[in-house]
Amino acid sequence: MSDKLLRISSQIIVGSSEVKTHCSQALQVAKKNKYSEALEFLKKAKDSLAKTYEYQSELLSDFALGEKIEVDIFLVHAQDHLMSASQMIENTEEFIELYRKLSY
């Protein structure tokens, strides 16, 4: 694995973890009916996801320019984290809305 691929894979994992942390924080405050605070954490999660997708886009751009990308288990692991982080945002949005409806 190249140093660049290791760096990008690591950034994807770290960024995805930030997304998941912000989503968890959003859910915790939403359970306490603090919806504006929950939405702030959700925005942080979305911002982290956008930043993390930039790392993935760097790889895709390199590939499109003809660079050979060595796919290994660490990159697959990073992509798995990114996919689950993206899904967690969608689930968090739904749960916040559900908590809001149930609180009325």
Looking up tokens 């912000």 gives 22
**pLDDT tens, residue by residue, 19-75:** 999 999 999 999 999 999 999 999 999 999 999 999 999 999 999 999 999 899 999
pLDDT at 65: 96
pLDDT band for position 104 (cuts 50, 70, 90): confident
Number of residues assigned to the chain: 104
- Running DSSP on this structure, what letter comes out for residue 66? T
E-strand spans in the chain?
none
**Dist. CA 81–CA 1, nearest whole Å:** 19
Give me the catalytic one of 31, 43, 51, 77.
Answer: 77
Looking up tokens 């930030």 gives 18
22 is catalytic: no
